[in-house]
Amino acid sequence: MAPTYAGDKIHARIAGLGIYVPDNILTSAELAGRLGVSEEWITSRVNIHERHIAVGQSTSDLGAAAAQRAMADAGISPSDVNLLIVATETPDRLVPSTACIIQDRLGLVNAAAFDLNAACSGFVYALTVGSQFIASGACQNVLVVGAEVLSPFADWSDEQTCILFGDGAGAAVLQPAGPESGILAWNLGADGSGKDILTILAGGSQMPITHQAIDEKLHLAKMNGQEVFIFAMRKVPAVTEQTLAAVGLSIENVDLFVPHQANSHIIEAITRRLGLAPEKVMMNLERYGNVAAASIPIALHEARETGRIKPGDIVVLVGFGAGLTWGAVVLRW
Amino acid sequence: MSTIEKLREVILKMKKKNITAADLKPEARFLQDLSFDSQDQTEMLVLAEEAFGITVDFQEVKNMTNIAAAVEYIDKKMGK
């Protein structure tokens, strides 16, 4: 069974948050026009009204801007950061990591830096990995970034998938906290037998980019939406309950549930299954689309900015996506 | 509790507008009578997995049209 853990003596808390999204907005009305469908066709399917699309900016540009804001929010300087983890499925380059590019951009001279690819679960994975460096006492400031420029990997002629994606970044600074607050429990898991459910086939060592691969659009994201829905429904509620139970909590104790912003149908179905009141569920995908590893920090940041989280609240973050991967963290804010 | 009674509970938990237990007769068709789309049907079946302790093979339920067919499928999976 995939690990659930709640034994850290030193908890990691989120000491700062920051987000960055490109200025350029693509509305569903405009996208509908390009695809030859109605705006309502898009919004009734996914409840996404607009998404930000990067123009001339890469994942590191978005991630660095979000990271800078998170550091300012936490009141730390670049030299304070001991570790930078960038969760992304759309790195600037295959080599080196986007984390190294951001490390250079921000002058994180004292930080180790690496990328982590767990797709839409990436931010929860990275937060968990970072928390373990805090728990061990090895690091005092871990910078966790979820950043994506998905737009170049969307098939803009496939109305089933391109309506979903957006570009953006969110970042969090982790610092040590007392035993009562911060990340109380986590769960990470994977099921690689679902590797073909959501994938970009070409561009890696298995299928290098060729003219033929491009002609067949194999360098773009392919998704089986129904399989993703089945996986999310089977996994997310169970993982949420399991992670809460690890610290003696149940769904009634949750003040805010922040799921990966995949699409509104998935989130609503999960919410119903968990028996959560809609006001306890953070949803903002109507303005950002599905931003993969960036969706949870963008939603969490908005929740904090709009007063939906107060100190002492139990907050649950749950990611799920390609891999297949999933992850949950239970935090006391 | 019979399979259909339990399935009714599952469907009512989905809180679909305007659906009451009385609507969930064996002959009620998902698409035409209950206004289910494919995601609603998938949601119902995943919830049924948990409620009945079964694993649904979604290839096998592609052409499932009404409540009676769902009950029959669930009973088969439960070895009834």
Q: How distant is the Cα of A59 from the closest Cα of chain B, in angstroms?
A: 32
Q: Could you tell me which residues of chain B have a Cβ less than 8 Å from any Cβ in chain A?
A: 13-15, 38-39, 42-43, 46-47, 49, 58
Residue B17 in this model has a pLDDT that exceeds 80: no
Assign B77 a pLDDT band (cuts: 50, 70, 90).
Answer: very high
Q: What is the pLDDT of residue B1?
A: 85
What mean pLDDT, rounded, does chain A reach? 95
Assign B18 a pLDDT band (cuts: 50, 70, 90).
Answer: confident
Q: Which pLDDT tens digit goes with each residue over A33-65?
A: 999 999 999 998 889 999 999 999 999 999 999
Contact call for A272 and B49, based on CB within 8 A: no
Q: Which pLDDT tens digit goes with each residue over A147-200?
A: 999 999 999 999 989 999 999 999 999 999 988 899 999 999 999 999 999 999
Q: What is the pLDDT of residue A238?
A: 94
The model's pTM: 0.94
Residue A1 in this model has a pLDDT that exceeds 70: no
Residue A20 in this model has a pLDDT that exceeds 80: yes
Q: Which residue has the higher pLDDT, A331 or A2?
A: A331
Residue A111 in this model has a pLDDT that exceeds 90: yes
The alpha helices in A138-279, defined as continuous H runs, are 211-215, 225-245, 264-274
Share of chain A above pLDDT 90, in %: 92
Residue A11 · residue A176 · CB < 8 Å: yes
Query: Quick one: DSSP state of residue A189?
Result: E
Mean pLDDT of B2-12: 92
What is the number of domains present in chain B?
1
Q: Which pLDDT tens digit goes with each residue over A281-319?
A: 999 999 999 999 999 999 999 999 999 999 999 999 999
d(CA B2, CA A209) in angstroms, rounded, equals: 56
Q: How distant is the Cα of B27 from the closest Cα of chain A, in angstroms?
A: 25
Size of interface A-B (CB pairs under 8 A): 26
Q: What is the CATH number for B18?
A: 1.10.1200.10
Lowest mean pLDDT among A168-172, A239-243, B41-45: B41-45
Q: Which pLDDT tens digit goes with each residue over A246-266?
A: 999 999 999 999 999 998 889
Range of the domain at B9: 3-77
Q: Write the ipTM.
A: 0.87
Q: Which of B15, B38, B58 sits opposite A272 (nearest CB)?
A: B15
Find the residue in B nearest to A231 (Cα). Answer: B46
d(CA A183, CA A139) in angstroms, rounded, equals: 15
Tokens of B25: 């007769």
CA–centroid distance for A277 within its chain: 23
Tell which residue, A228, A23, A239, has the closest CA to residue A120.
A228
Contact call for A234 and B58, based on CB within 8 A: no
Which sequence positions of A are flagged as catalytic? 120, 260, 290
Assign B63 a pLDDT band (cuts: 50, 70, 90).
Answer: confident
In the Cβ-directed half-sphere of A98, how many Cα atoms lie within 13 Å? 27
Residue A108 · residue A78 · CB < 8 Å: yes
Task: Please give the helix or strand (H or E) that residue B58 lies within, else none.
Answer: none
Task: Please give the helix or strand (H or E) that residue A288 lies within, else none.
Answer: helix A285-288
